[in-house]
Amino acid sequence: MDTFPSNFKHHYASILAWSLCAIMFTTCMHSSNSKIHCNEKDKQILLNFKHAATDPSGLLSTWSSQQDCCHWNGVVCHNFTSRVTQLSLPCPLTNPYGYNDFFDKSHCLTGYIDIMSLFQMEFLEHLDLSDHDFLAITYDSMNSPSCHNLSLGNLPYQCENSSTLNYLDLSGNFNLVIQNLEWLSSVSSLKYIDLSDIYLNVETDWVKLMAMLPSLSELYLVSCLLDNMSPSLQFANFTSLQVLDLSSNEIHSEIPNWLFNLTCDISYISLDNNLLRGQLPEAMPNFQGLKSLVLSNNHLSGSIPDWLVKLEHLSYLEISSNLFSGPLPVNLGNLSSLVTLEAESNLFTGIVSEKHFANLTNLKALLVESPNIIFDFDLHWIPPFQLEVVCLGPIGPKLPQWLYTQTSLKSFGFLNSKISFEAGDKFWSFVSKIEILLLAYNSIDGDLSNVLLNSSLVELSSNNLKGGLPRLSSNVKIFMVNNNSLSGSMVPLLCHNMDRRSNLEYLDMSSNNLSGGLTDCWTNWKSLLHINLGNNDLSGKIPPSMGLLENLKSLHLHENNLSGDIPLSLKNCHSLLILNVRENRLSGSIPNWLPHKAKVLQLRSNQFTGNIPPQICQMPSLTILDLADNRISGHIPSCINNITAMIVHIRSFYAIGYTFSVYGTSYIIKENLMLLIKGQGSEYVSDLYLIRIVDLSSNDLFGTIPPQMFSLTELQSLNLSHNQLTGKIPKEIGNMRQLESLDLSRNQLLGEIPESLSNLSFLSYLNLSFNNLTGKIPSGTQLQGFGALSYIGNPDLCGPPLTKSCTHDGIFGGTRPLDADDDDDDDDEFWTFFYMGIGVGFATCFWGVCAAIFFNRKWRHAYFRFLYDLRDQLYVMVVTKMNKLFT
């Protein structure tokens, strides 16, 4: 008899069944987690990848054939199938914020990637090898019958490409060159591709190849040196594309039709920092779902089309730094979803008022600046938004009152404006609560000596500021007040008592009228990374307290009246990369303790004496060595070829400078240097990290040029002029294939110009004048393309481009120049009679022998007997040889 109701039995049975399932599931999970074994095929593929890579820091140290690959660094396996589903191995980079010259990748993987071999892991979904230093990709293994000789024991497996790979990130491999992208067709499941910072300019059909991937939704090709995006292509079959980022390339066409004809629901387009030209189309593109359109820093022109202000979902519109003209559309105020509007540095005209922003309730960033627009806001207008970032221009003579209603501001700026502020003005109290203050390139005047600045970043560059320096709170990290008319001492700024320890990292007060000494108060500013006090009227010695700045990376004291030695205390600045003290009155010897890591030494136009210290050769990162216009003597160190940065090419996308982050975006304040190259001074900023220079001109150096100098194969400019150098120009000069400027003028060099000089195909400036060079200028090369001034002052040089010609090759294989001097005329006359004498003598002897044979019968018979005997001897010799050959 049943003791339980039937419905309870059924309920109990269900509970029991579910309990058993749960126990079995837990057991299976525990078993699978504890006994996952990597698939042998996947393991072999990964070991081959490790073998092809160079691993200087042991990132793949856990990848051992004795261990389960599911526990290797960066490898993720499926819990049940044990197949590799993820290889996520980005190179960990050092913190990019602060002062940097390039990202250090010495610890990253290098070598090559056999990409098709990795794709043979059929269950691979996620592949991330970003930020390494791979040099090449090979993709030919799929054509190999044995799939790159991978096998399981003695049994080769069938090759199959991954059908599940949806994420591919190879970005940040700066030295990687990809010749073509056809290999992408084997992984049609890709949804996310990031190949940023990789050379792709060789591949011209990238648009068509990418469009063949039906699932592709995000495509990032930033800084790939792309120079076209198929402008003639009408349609591209991107069916799933949502994000397209082609920023920071070299695309120099109009925006192509295929982009405006996309049928997919794209939401993000970024084409900023290119060379795009032309106008935006008048017809409405298929951009109904577009949320972000970034077109800044191009050459786009014309007016803003009506369709742009009808994109109801548009949140980010960035069109700064173009050539857009006409009025700023009033109906921009209807874009209620707009969060960011950036329209700086264009050619807009007309009036901008509160009507342009009437309904922008979500607006957080407003940047509108153009030299020909007029801001005319109602004095009583209260905006419907609270901004975090604002930059306007031109405005003045007073600030619009509505700005004072913005209580959430983090960044405030205006450009090209004429405004006068006094120390007690409420403006300074208002901006003291703002993190970033950008007031550059205005006509702001007033005395700021009693103003306390409190923002983290303060830029007051290129204004009309006069009087003394302002005071800085401990919150200020970046202070730029260069290109003004500030005067007086630096004592009020540097030597005042601070409540808290300073956080100042970047200080630029260059190009003012500051006077007095450098003070000895640097002990309060130990956080400094960059100091620029150049182009002032500072005097006295460099104070020893500057040696307390142990974190200092860049020191510019150029174009002042500083005197004395470079203090020994600077030896404590171990991290110093740039030392620029050009055009002062510094004296003494060049220090032999200069920082090992230094990249730039610019000591020109001072009064330094003594020899070039051999410790220069122990600075492998040095790229600019400028010791010109001093009183340095002695020999050029023969160990100069130890400066490896002038021998090995290092590719980097990052300019030298101070890097900081604002709201998740990185910015860089780039270093700049005035360098004398090709006979003229030029300022180098963005391309400074590419420059390789040695300038030892206008000194008292003597001896020969060491051949090791010409091992510096990455050198672009070499100037040894105005010295007392002797000897020949070494033939090794032909090794310097990157050389663009060469100046060896006003020395005592002798001998011929080496033929190898013609190998320098990039050479565009040459000066060999006023030496003792001789012989013919090598012909048939670009050396004839330089003017005669490049060779003047070498009296024994001849040949084009000089008017002085050279003789033809002589009987001894040499050349001899013709000259108008009497001695040379005598020599020419001698050689003329010498050659005539040889010709007459030969003719006389020849006809004399013929006459003797013809008129003397005995001689004639003897001569013919000799010929007959010679004939018989030749006949016998030939017959004898033939008989031996056939017997």
On the question of pLDDT at 549 being above 80, the answer is yes
Annotate 796-833 with three-state secondary structure. Answer: EEECCCCCCCECCCCCCCCCCECCCCHHHHHHHHHHHH
- Which range (341-355, 429-443, 691-705, 854-868) has the least confidence? 854-868
On the question of pLDDT at 276 being above 90, the answer is yes
Question: What's the confidence (pLDDT) of residue 847?
Answer: 52
What secondary structure letter does DSSP report for 438? E
Closest CA to 97 of 671, 662, 659: 659
CATH code for the domain defined by 577-818:
3.80.10.10
The token pair at 286 is 């298929």
Q: How far apart are CA 819 and CA 812, in angstroms?
A: 20
At 677-713, the pLDDT tens digits run: 988 888 988 778 889 999 999 999 999 999 999 999 9
- pLDDT band (50, 70, 90) for residue 158: very low
Q: How far apart are CA 457 and CA 663, in angstroms?
A: 13
Average pLDDT along the chain: 84
Region 440-459: mean pLDDT is 89
- pLDDT band (50, 70, 90) for residue 368: very high
Question: What's the confidence (pLDDT) of residue 660?
Answer: 80
Beta bridge partners of residue 725, listed in sequence order: 703
Q: How far apart are CA 394 and CA 311, in angstroms?
A: 28
∠110-113-119 over CA atoms, to 5°?
A: 150
State the virtual CA torsion across 619, 623, 628, 632 in degrees, nearest 10: 10
Q: Tell me the three state secondary structure of residue 183.
A: helix
- pLDDT band (50, 70, 90) for residue 870: low
- pLDDT band (50, 70, 90) for residue 151: very low
The token pair at 276 is 């795009």
Q: Tell me the three state secondary structure of residue 758.
A: helix
Region 118-143: mean pLDDT is 85
Region 732-745: mean pLDDT is 94
On the question of pLDDT at 559 being above 60, the answer is yes
On the question of pLDDT at 887 being above 70, the answer is no
Q: Which residue has the tokens 């100037």?
A: 719
CB 395 within 8 A of CB 353: no
Question: What's the confidence (pLDDT) of residue 579?
Answer: 96
Question: What's the confidence (pLDDT) of residue 814?
Answer: 43
Closest CA to 362 of 431, 429, 291, 412: 291
On the question of pLDDT at 623 being above 90, the answer is yes
- pLDDT band (50, 70, 90) for residue 421: confident
- pLDDT band (50, 70, 90) for residue 867: low
CB-based contacts of 394, cutoff 8 Å, min separation 6: 369, 371, 373, 375, 414, 415, 416, 417, 418
At 88-116, the pLDDT tens digits run: 999 987 655 677 766 678 889 999 998 88
Q: How far apart are CA 795 and CA 51, in angstroms?
A: 62
- pLDDT band (50, 70, 90) for residue 499: low
CB 468 within 8 A of CB 491: no
Question: How far is the CA of 234 from the CAs of 208, 246, 260, 284, 529, in angstroms?
Answer: 11, 18, 9, 16, 51
At 757-793, the pLDDT tens digits run: 988 989 999 999 999 999 999 987 788 889 999 999 9
At 528-543, the pLDDT tens digits run: 999 999 999 999 999 9
On the question of pLDDT at 159 being above 80, the answer is no
What secondary structure letter does DSSP report for 23? H
Region 308-314: mean pLDDT is 91
Q: How far apart are CA 205 and CA 228, in angstroms?
A: 9
CB-based contacts of 100, cutoff 8 Å, min separation 6: 654, 656, 657, 659
Q: How far apart are CA 553 and CA 530, in angstroms?
A: 6
The token pair at 187 is 């992984």
Q: What number of H helices and E strands is found in the chain?
A: 9, 55
- pLDDT band (50, 70, 90) for residue 139: low
Question: What's the confidence (pLDDT) of residue 355?
Answer: 92
- pLDDT band (50, 70, 90) for residue 250: very high
First to last CA, the chain: 126
How many other CB atoms are found less than 10 A from the CB of residue 80? 10
Is the C-alpha dihedral spanning 564, 566, 568, 573 positive or negative? positive
On the question of pLDDT at 200 being above 60, the answer is yes
The token pair at 870 is 């010679």
Buried b (16+ CB within 10 A) or exposed e, 347-377: ebeeebbbbbbbbbeebbbbbbbbeebebeb
Q: Which residue has the tokens 């940097």?
A: 100
- pLDDT band (50, 70, 90) for residue 283: confident
Closest CA to 603 of 635, 574, 642, 570: 570
118 φ/ψ angles, rounded to the nearest 5 degrees? -65, -35
Q: What percent of the chain has pLDDT over 70?
A: 81
Question: What's the confidence (pLDDT) of residue 688?
Answer: 83
The token pair at 482 is 């260069």
pTM over 0.85: no
On the question of pLDDT at 297 being above 60, the answer is yes
Q: Which helix (H) or strand (E) holds 851?
A: helix 822-855
- Which range (283-297, 737-751, 803-817) has the least confidence? 803-817
At 802-853, the pLDDT tens digits run: 999 887 544 333 444 444 444 444 444 444 554 555 554 555 555 555 555 5
On the question of pLDDT at 224 being above 70, the answer is yes
Q: How far apart are CA 210 and CA 581, in angstroms?
A: 52
The token pair at 735 is 């090794």
Q: How far apart are CA 46 and CA 89, in angstroms?
A: 12
- pLDDT band (50, 70, 90) for residue 30: very low
3-state DSSP helix/strand/coil % of the chain, to nearest 5: 25, 25, 50
CB 465 within 8 A of CB 514: no
Region 402-412: mean pLDDT is 94
- pLDDT band (50, 70, 90) for residue 4: very low
Closest CA to 536 of 565, 515, 506: 515
- pLDDT band (50, 70, 90) for residue 148: very low
Which is more confident, 115 or 584?
584
- pLDDT band (50, 70, 90) for residue 14: very low
Q: What percent of the chain has pLDDT over 90?
A: 61
- Which range (161-170, 350-359, 725-734) has the least confidence? 161-170
Region 249-268: mean pLDDT is 91
On the question of pLDDT at 486 being above 90, the answer is yes
Question: What's the confidence (pLDDT) of residue 163?
Answer: 76
Q: Which helix (H) or strand (E) holds 128?
A: strand 126-128
On the question of pLDDT at 498 being above 90, the answer is no
Q: Tell me the three state secondary structure of residue 662.
A: strand
Region 249-276: mean pLDDT is 92
Which amino acid belongs to residue 468? Answer: G
